[in-house]
Structure 1
Amino acid sequence: MPTVTEEIAYRTEIVFTKTALSISIDEPSPQIVKHREALRSFGAQNFQASTCIDEKWFNDNIPCRGTCPAGTNARGYVMAIAEGRYQEAYLLARQNNPFVATCGKVCGAPCETACQRGKVDEPVSIRALKDFAVLQDKLSHEEVYSWIRKRMGKVTLGRDSDFSRRGKSSLNDVPRVAVVGAGPAGLTAAHDLALMGYSVCAYESGSNPGGMPEKSLPRYRLDREAVKKDVDTILSLDRIDLAVGKKCGKDFTIDQLREEFDAVLIAVGLQKGRMLPIPGIEQEGVLSGLDFLMDVGTGHGLPMGKKAVIIGGGCVEVHGETLCKVVQGGKAIVMGGGCVATDVARALIRINKCKEVHLVCLEAAKGCRPDNPKEEMPAWVSDVVESIEEGIIFSTSWGPKRIIGENGKVKGLEVIKVKSVYDAQGRFNPIYIPGSERIIEASNILLSIGQAPDMSFMDGSSGFELDQRKMLKMDPLTLSTSKLGVFACGDILRPGLIINAVASGQLAAQSIHQYFGGTGTLGLAQPGPMESIPVPRRFERFLPRLKKERKLPALIPTKKRVKGWEAQECTYSESSAEGQAERCLNCNVSPVILPNANCILCGGCVDVCPPKCISMAYLQKADLDSTVDSKVDGYGPWAGLVHDEEKCIHCGLCSLRCPVDAISMIRFEEMLDVIGRKRC
């Protein structure tokens, strides 16, 4: 099978040598049902297509933006970098994501998974380019918020009945909101509420705000200066106060906050590591991997043996208590197949110089189950590769059976081979192979099998309902709990990426705003008014861009990595960043058959299209009536072009090939007053 690049090279040759072609009529594409393909009849056997451009079209066709939980304008800041507009790139990335610097270092980047360039070869390195943009920022907090406020939607504050009862009738008095937890979700909600005009006080049980990224993510992965930049920018807003060292359920209660504030938001995260109910779990030397990462994050050195085993995997959220004792010994084991497990294993190598660290997980190794990727370990490929480089020993498709001890102390872990992790219905239901048991010697075993909330924040409060999992019962749409005026967001609602927590905080802020009776939204994630700009000679610029390969920022040498906590990933140079940003396919540039174009249905565009996203089809009246805004005349059938936008790579060959210039390449651009903008 030729690659897309090879296909384009071939079709570039024939585009200049062939004229109208005789083609076969394909079956109607499933994409016909897309509402934005408005097909208009203009004759007995002919019709034209015009694309309806609206916010839905924009989100659907810019997948990096549409799949970001917070709606970040990834294409916007990537193209700003490509054109050397670094400050604008930061502002576009920061516009609706107050944790932009943190995400630049550690975001799971769902935008890259959805990137259209990945259908050609590899996706654009969006996350690393965000990090580059953050490092170019030279603006003050005031300048950043001045830029953001110009792009905010119109918001009218609400004043609920509780607020009125408290006698706050002055226009200078606004509803006050208490936020319990100063992590990404809580501070994002505080940020958005403050921008709307509400008064917010955030309470943090630890000594520093920032949540789990600040407390537990290893420093080689997340430079704390990135978290500090985000937090400092958020707290620079006048309407946000912060109280640290204040634990809910101990220093105050939700009921007390509800009496003092007009609404309360719970954003405490998942702060307890889960333990595994297997024989021997009570042995000295069995630790929570989350607690271990917490101690590492706060700078506590823990004496460990020379061999470790880690069990489990999941999202990083850890308990805030310091471990007092860690059993001395020769070896340790880490069990787990997630990113937390690899973080624990790699932290063990750095802080204790363990000679042997085992990572044991139920799932198969990456790439071993292409037929069922769910059976493969969930850790990122880059984490697995870097862990192997640092000497971590992976035992994939093995499950824990019992912990072996002697005189109450860990001596090893008995594991059994796993045949499958999930059943035919996709439910977690491991099947083991009898007689395959083996023992891994260890003096420390660390479990990383998931996390749970510390429900002590409810102490002294009443009126909360719990679900079957003993978690807070809440409305998934409004994030309101069973207690009037109390909301919840972040990982306590649903564990996820940092960007998921940011999005959850944004939703919580909007829900609280509506609870007060407010109207309008910040609208920072929504595309602004758009303009259509013809793009001449599109293909000539596209082909050189297609030849650029994905290159991530370099890592520091392995031997240097394992000796300390220095950030392992370097940053792009300006030339490298611009080169990588130029790999973007510009999904906002699309082929359009304009309403007055005289398409002759020659099939030339179908012939030259590399991903075969243009086809010709016979359509009946019923097909068109279900997809266009107005009813069509006649009964058909009509022959016409169908454009599958999900497959389109925006190369422009169809426009170049068209003998009657019926197809135009149009760039749909948001009309923004941005710094140093180059208009064309």
Structure 2
Amino acid sequence: MSKYPAVFRDMYWYRQNVPCMEACPVHTDSGRYVQLIAEGKYRDAFFVARSPNPLASVCGRICSAPCEDACRRGTIDQAVTIRPLKRFVTERYGAESTDPESYRSLLEKAEDEGCHRLWHLSELRSQQGKGNGRKVAVIGSGPSGMACAHDLALLGYAVTVFEALDKLGGMLRYGIPEYRLPRGVIDREFGLLSQLGVTVRTNTPLTAEYNLQSLREEGFDAIFLSVGAMKGRDLNIPGYNLDGCIKAVDYLLNINKGYRIDLGERVVVIGGGLVALDAARTVVRDFYKPMEEIERSADAVVGQPALDAARGAIRGGATEVHMVSLESFEEMPAAQTISGQDEINQAREEGIAFHPSWGPKAVLGKDRVTGIELKRCTRVFDENGRFNPLFDEETTTTIEADSVIFAIGQQVDLSFISEKDGIEITPAGTIKIDPATLATTAPGVFAGGDAAFGPRIAIEAVANGKTAAMSIHEFLSDTKPRATVHVQIEKIPASDYAMFADYDLVPRKHPPTIETERRTGIAEVEQVYGEREAREQAERCLVCHVDTIYDPELCVLCGRCSEVCPERCLKFLPLEEVELPEDHWQHAKEHYGIGDDDQPMTVLLKDDTACIRCGLCAMRCPTEAMTMERFNFIETAT
């Protein structure tokens, strides 16, 4: 007889049972700020969103939103629009708003209502001044460097940020198109650094001459390396060096610096990721043509470094833009997330043609590109999930093109590191680090973001920066703060518990976008929700912070809870039909007397992935054996 696998719920389980928060690399309590928006408490919602994330305004626009991919609502229909809801509150109170008082109060005294970790603002403020002005150098001003500088400045360190280019932002400024992320938002968000006392030195790259030893001689006690992956990878195919071939990162860098690149009228972008999308959509910006006039084959569809590169090409004047990816549409990197799927849909609206399961065989032309020959890709990954594409060399096709943009990967320029620095480089060309502390093999030098992990999404880079700040603080103060977790539990009377009307029926609605015909130049495509739309979308949240708590001592086995459950996620079963891990059996023996005699026992099994927090089980229970209780977890440093 097959058994139902089950576990006993403990405090660790309850903490992990808020999927959006656990999926966020900085553990933003996304569900809580969504719930506060639904209640009309927008200022409080902003504090929850901003507390762990110094780039909340940036992330409200371009975050890849792993929280949405993990959202429990997505198992029922579609995930809550968590990222656009963040933008809704940052527009009112964030860096881009006209309410500077919110920022001041946030840094000085505001408390957020969500779950806290040690790197949230309230805890950072409790450690304020402990840095004693010791000097820290942050190399690179992308999301990782910005987050590290922000937290170290709050802790009282004298932080200097070194940026190779003329403005702050790293890949946020020079890799992401302005139609996705207005430069004013970056300027306002990064402007907070100066308010915190951070020194900025632009146009100051590290080189073989001005290097890590130079920084040590200037008196820096610790160094964080957060240089971005601004070098595109090469591809060994015939014609790759023809005039008209360009790497996506180089193309986007030049476009974002204000240079216009003549790509001709027909552009092909190679790649299936977000960078490819950005490049392709940028290319399209000046001239729009309906997709049906561009698509050439029934299977023309495409991936996100690749998506980013393709977007960039059209702004330069192209009238025909194609994206070519090795992966099938389902395998494309850009299609692996909800936000990436939205980007692909917008790209298709803008007339970009996608060609999945094709790979470049040769760039055609003599002195300049005239086209590209493709070969059918029959497999991208081997049986172990490793990148190992196979091709059908006999099945080929050709696309005429004036330019080809390659978005096939990026790498970090670490030429400023010498052997005497004592920093080990991995075979992948990244800096070897301790994954827990981000310490390199050189004392006092830490690394994160692209430099340590290769290209990654912005919120992962932010998390690296915050981890590095904590590690640098421990290194320089010779202390290791221990996290004490406080659990707040609020029992909600069944008579008071209520979800919003029709919350389970309201469909996901994307934020508004400008009309396709107006998507030219740097016009921002995605717009912000209106208040009514924001609250309606926020009301879709299933409130995973609230759990059904079952007290078997009060239960009379009437079965009313399982009968009333609309999702059929509750079930009474004989104990012998349940399969528990060994340590959970031990817990059952100690707390419930299982195994002490031969008396038959019944268990109440709950499928929490199906629960919609309607509360009907608690309302129907005649003995209050089932209750609705909210859990909040607060970490403090001891």
Question: Would the TM-score normalized by the shorter structure come out above 0.5?
Answer: yes
* Aligned-partner SS, 2:502: helix
Kindly tell me: are residues 70 and 436 of structure 1, through their superposed partners in 2, closer, same or farther at Cα, counting changes over 3 Å?
A: same
1:455: how far off?
1.5
User: Structure 2: how far apart are the matches of 1:617 and 1:27?
Assistant: 13
Confirm whether residue 147 of structure 1 aligns to residue 118 of structure 2: no
Confirm whether residue 412 of structure 1 aligns to residue 377 of structure 2: no
Confirm whether residue 548 of structure 1 aligns to residue 511 of structure 2: no
- Give the aligned partner of residue 388 of structure 1: 348
- RMSD, matched Cα: 2.9
User: Structure 1: how far apart are the matches of 2:184 and 2:448?
Assistant: 25
Instruction: Check the 8 A contact 2:129/2:154 in 1, yes or no.
Output: no
Instruction: Check the 8 A contact 2:60/2:90 in 1, yes or no.
Output: yes
- Give the aligned partner of residue 602 of structure 2: 639
1:404: how far off?
1.4
* Aligned-partner SS, 1:591: strand
Aligned partner (choices 606, 609, 615) of residue 652 of structure 1: 615
Instruction: Check the 8 A contact 2:362/2:372 in 1, yes or no.
Output: yes
Aligned partner (choices 45, 55, 69) of residue 25 of structure 2: 69
1:376: how far off?
8.7
Instruction: Check the 8 A contact 1:255/1:461 in 2, yes or no.
Output: no
Aligned partner (choices 555, 560, 584) of residue 518 of structure 2: 560
Kindly tell me: are residues 146 and 109 of structure 1, through their superposed partners in 2, closer, same or farther at Cα, counting changes over 3 Å?
A: same
Instruction: Check the 8 A contact 1:178/1:257 in 2, yes or no.
Output: yes
1:670: how far off?
6.4
- Give the aligned partner of residue 79 of structure 2: 123
Kindly tell me: are residues 671 and 253 of structure 1, through their superposed partners in 2, closer, same or farther at Cα, counting changes over 3 Å?
A: closer
User: Structure 2: how far apart are the matches of 1:602 and 1:536?
Assistant: 18
1:294-328, Cα deviation, whole Å (9 max, x unpaired): 111111111121001111244649xxxxxxxxxxx
- Give the aligned partner of residue 344 of structure 1: 309
1:539: how far off?
7.0
User: Structure 1: how far apart are the matches of 2:177 and 2:393?
Assistant: 38
Kindly tell me: are residues 469 and 376 of structure 1, through their superposed partners in 2, closer, same or farther at Cα, counting changes over 3 Å?
A: closer
Kindly tell me: are residues 219 and 377 of structure 1, through their superposed partners in 2, closer, same or farther at Cα, counting changes over 3 Å?
A: same
Kindly tell me: are residues 558 and 521 of structure 1, through their superposed partners in 2, closer, same or farther at Cα, counting changes over 3 Å?
A: farther
Instruction: Check the 8 A contact 1:112/1:124 in 2, yes or no.
Output: yes
Confirm whether residue 493 of structure 1 aligns to residue 452 of structure 2: yes
1:58: how far off?
4.2
Percentage identity across paired residues of the two chains: 35
Instruction: Check the 8 A contact 2:273/2:307 in 1, yes or no.
Output: no
Kindly tell me: are residues 592 and 378 of structure 1, through their superposed partners in 2, closer, same or farther at Cα, counting changes over 3 Å?
A: closer
1:400-442, Cα deviation, whole Å (9 max, x unpaired): 1111121x22121110112221122212122222421121111
Instruction: Check the 8 A contact 2:273/2:334 in 1, yes or no.
Output: no
User: Structure 2: how far apart are the matches of 1:521 and 1:107?
Assistant: 30
- Give the aligned partner of residue 254 of structure 1: 212
Give unpaired runs (5+ residues) of structure 1.
1-25, 37-53, 160-172, 318-331, 367-372, 673-680
1:612: how far off?
3.2
1:53-88, Cα deviation, whole Å (9 max, x unpaired): x4x344311111111001001112111111111111
User: Structure 1: how far apart are the matches of 2:181 and 2:589?
Assistant: 49
- 1:475-490 superposed matches below 5 A: 475-490=434-449
Kindly tell me: are residues 463 and 275 of structure 1, through their superposed partners in 2, closer, same or farther at Cα, counting changes over 3 Å?
A: same
Amino acid at match of 2:143: P
Instruction: Check the 8 A contact 1:654/1:663 in 2, yes or no.
Output: yes
User: Structure 2: how far apart are the matches of 1:128 and 1:513?
Assistant: 34
Aligned partner (choices 452, 466, 469) of residue 411 of structure 2: 452
1:622-643, Cα deviation, whole Å (9 max, x unpaired): 6754346945432455212133
User: Structure 2: how far apart are the matches of 1:488 and 1:376?
Assistant: 26
Amino acid at match of 2:325: C
Confirm whether residue 358 of structure 1 aligns to residue 322 of structure 2: yes
User: Structure 1: how far apart are the matches of 2:432 and 2:334?
Assistant: 32
Amino acid at match of 1:477: A
Instruction: Check the 8 A contact 1:363/1:396 in 2, yes or no.
Output: yes
- Give the aligned partner of residue 289 of structure 2: none
Instruction: Check the 8 A contact 2:274/2:308 in 1, yes or no.
Output: no
User: Structure 2: how far apart are the matches of 1:226 and 1:355?
Assistant: 30
Aligned partner (choices 559, 566, 577) of residue 603 of structure 1: 559
1:171-222, Cα deviation, whole Å (9 max, x unpaired): xx43221111111101101111122222211111111111111122111111
- Give the aligned partner of residue 275 of structure 1: 234
Amino acid at match of 1:344: A
1:378: how far off?
4.9
Instruction: Check the 8 A contact 2:33/2:44 in 1, yes or no.
Output: yes
1:512: how far off?
1.1
User: Structure 1: how far apart are the matches of 2:374 and 2:489?
Assistant: 61
Instruction: Check the 8 A contact 2:491/2:627 in 1, yes or no.
Output: no
Matched positions, count? 587
Instruction: Check the 8 A contact 2:125/2:155 in 1, yes or no.
Output: no
* Aligned-partner SS, 2:109: helix
Give unpaired runs (5+ residues) of structure 2.
94-98, 111-120, 277-293
User: Structure 2: how far apart are the matches of 1:107 and 1:118?
Assistant: 18
Instruction: Check the 8 A contact 1:253/1:460 in 2, yes or no.
Output: no
Amino acid at match of 2:106: V
Aligned partner (choices 299, 304, 325) of residue 258 of structure 2: 299
Instruction: Check the 8 A contact 1:157/1:517 in 2, yes or no.
Output: no
Instruction: Check the 8 A contact 2:233/2:411 in 1, yes or no.
Output: yes
Instruction: Check the 8 A contact 1:412/1:443 in 2, yes or no.
Output: yes
Kindly tell me: are residues 470 and 262 of structure 1, through their superposed partners in 2, closer, same or farther at Cα, counting changes over 3 Å?
A: same
- 1:196-345 superposed matches below 5 A: 196-238=155-197, 240-249=198-207, 252-259=210-217, 260-314=219-273, 316=275, 337-345=302-310
* Aligned-partner SS, 1:133: helix
1:353-411, Cα deviation, whole Å (9 max, x unpaired): x1211111111124xxxxxx5799558222222112111121111111111121x2212
* Aligned-partner SS, 2:604: strand
Kindly tell me: are residues 527 and 99 of structure 1, through their superposed partners in 2, closer, same or farther at Cα, counting changes over 3 Å?
A: farther
Kindly tell me: are residues 617 and 397 of structure 1, through their superposed partners in 2, closer, same or farther at Cα, counting changes over 3 Å?
A: same
Aligned partner (choices 573, 577, 583) of residue 534 of structure 2: 577
Aligned partner (choices 42, 49, 66) of residue 86 of structure 1: 42
* Aligned-partner SS, 2:608: coil
1:609: how far off?
2.5
* Aligned-partner SS, 2:609: coil
Amino acid at match of 1:208: K
User: Structure 1: how far apart are the matches of 2:75 and 2:158?
Assistant: 46
- Give the aligned partner of residue 39 of structure 1: none
User: Structure 2: how far apart are the matches of 1:635 and 1:469?
Assistant: 60
- Give the aligned partner of residue 281 of structure 2: none
1:602: how far off?
2.3
Kindly tell me: are residues 453 and 300 of structure 1, through their superposed partners in 2, closer, same or farther at Cα, counting changes over 3 Å?
A: same
User: Structure 1: how far apart are the matches of 2:301 and 2:546?
Assistant: 43
Report the structure number with the largest CA radius of gyration.
1
1:289: how far off?
1.0
The range that moved more, 81-90 or 619-628, is 619-628
Aligned partner (choices 359, 366, 384) of residue 399 of structure 1: 359
User: Structure 1: how far apart are the matches of 2:481 and 2:488?
Assistant: 19
The range that moved more, 187-196 or 470-479, is 470-479
User: Structure 2: how far apart are the matches of 1:592 and 1:153?
Assistant: 35
